[in-house]
Amino acid sequence: MEDRNIQIQLGAGAIVASVFLIVVAIPVWVSSPSNVPNIILSPLFWPNVLAAITALIGAGMIVTSIARPGPETSSDTADADRQGAFKRLAIMAVIMAACMLAMPVVGLVWTAMATFVATGFLVKTTHPRTVVICAVLVPLFLYVFFAHVAGVAIPQGDFVRLP
């Protein structure tokens, strides 16, 4: 993608986000007491100022990208592999979501072991045995440190509990 296109997309995105903040998000999700003596002291003031500046920056990005066309940027991933790359990213998102859901149920240590193996194979490791060995040892070592040295209550889950 051209650097200029990126800049225009970012600028447009910033303006849209800013309008959304000023029109919807700030009025709905920021509450302010009714007896604020001055608008400057209101909890609404600061987010509105920031949203307005964001819109200005967005406009600036669009103007400068029109005034100064940038050079083409090279992609680090060939087009043929882009589909595969997006597929891997989607799988990574699933791994992260599964990790979040499994942590309170299965326990952090077992979830971490599964996450380690899944991520290792997702990035096409050339050392599958090392990945499996590390997937067991690294979470256990971290469990020992955080649970027994730092005194952190690591979630143990409902099934196999560690000492």
Partner 1 sequence: MSFVDSVLAGLQLVGHLEAFLALAIGVAVGVIGGAIPGLSATMAVALTLPFTFSMTPITGILLLLGVYKGGIFGGSIPAILIKTPGTPASSATVLDGYPMAEKGQAGKALGMALWASCTADVVSNLSLIFFAGFLASFALSFGPPEFFTLMLFSLTIIAGVSGESLLRGALSAMLGLLLATVGLDLIYGTNRFTFGNPNMMGGLNFIAVLIGLFAIPEILSMVWNPASHDGATRGLGKDRITFQEYKSSFKSIIRGSFIGVFLGSIPGIGAAPAAFLSYSEARRKSPNRENFGKGEIEGVAASEAGNNGVAGATLIPLLALGVPGDVITAIIMGAFMIHGLQPGPMMFILNVDIIYGLFIGLIVSSVFLFFIGSVAIRGFKYVADIPRGVLFPAVLILCIYGVFAVNNNIFDVGVMFFMGWVGFVMMRYKVPAAPFLIAFILGPLLEDNFRQAMLMSGSSGWILFRGPITWFFWTLTAITVIAIVRAGIKATRHGKTAQT
Residues in region 99-138 near partner 1 by CB under 8 A = 99-100, 103-104, 108, 112, 115-117, 119-120, 122-127, 130-131, 134-135, 138
Per the rule left: phi > 0, alpha: psi between -120 and 50, beta: everything else, 18 is alpha
Q: How far is the CB of 102 from partner 1 (least distance, A)?
A: 10
3-state secondary structure of 132: helix
User: Alpha-carbon distance 68 to 111, whole Å?
Assistant: 49
Size of the site for partner 1 (CB under 8 A): 78
Q: How far is the CB of 163 from partner 1 (least distance, A)?
A: 18
CA of residue 80 relative to chain centroid, distance = 26
- Which of 74, 80, 151, 161 is close enough to bind partner 1 by CB under 8 A? 151
Q: How far is the CB of 79 from partner 1 (least distance, A)?
A: 13
| Structure tokens given for 163 | 């000492």
- How many residues does the structure list for the chain? 163
Q: List the x/- string, 57-96, binding to partner 1 by CB under 8 A.
A: xx-xx--x--xxxx--x--xx---x---x--xx--xx--x
Q: Quick one: which of 100, 131, 138 has its CA closest to 117?
A: 131
Q: How far is the CB of 125 from partner 1 (least distance, A)?
A: 3
Tokens 């077992």 belong to: 110
DSSP labels, 41-59: GSTTHHHHHHHHHHHHHHH
Under rule CB under 8 A, which residues in 7-36 are in contact with partner 1?
Answer: 7, 9-10, 14, 21, 25, 29-33, 36
Q: How far is the CB of 22 from partner 1 (least distance, A)?
A: 12
